[in-house]
Amino acid sequence: MDIVTWLIVGLVAGVLASLVVGGVGLVGNIVVGIVGAFVGGWIFRQLGVSAPLPGLGGVIFTAFIGAMVTLLLLHFVSGRRKTVA
């Protein structure tokens, strides 16, 4: 995949995941979507399953699942850091 495809997949997956979990801004959603593609691919490999859709749809689905997991972890970590003033 070229860089434009990575950005589009990251944007779509990040925005979809942010609608479900809560986002971190446009650029953050793109980054979360791209990272989510790697996380989702790792999760699917560990479970021994493949994406239910062929082609780009499967890549976006995998990135969406990974982006949701990444956002949940980010919210969990950032929620524990309360500043005391």
Q: Is residue 1 part of a domain?
A: no
Indicate whether this model's pTM tops 0.75: yes
Residue 34 lies in a domain: yes
Q: What's the first-to-final CA gap in the chain, in angstroms? A: 47
| Domain assignment of residue 9, yes or no | no
pLDDT in tens, 22-71: 777 888 888 888 888 889 889 999 999 888 888 888 888 888 999 999 88
Those residues with Cβ within 8 angstroms of residue 29's Cβ, 6 or more apart along the chain or in another chain: 10, 11, 14, 15, 17, 18, 23, 67
Domain around 44: 25-70
Number of domains in the chain: 1
Domain assignment present for 6: no
73, containing H or E segment: helix 55-80
State the SS3 of 9-30: HHHHHHHHHHHHHCCCCHHHHH
Rounded-to-integer distance, Cα 11 and Cα 26, Å:
8
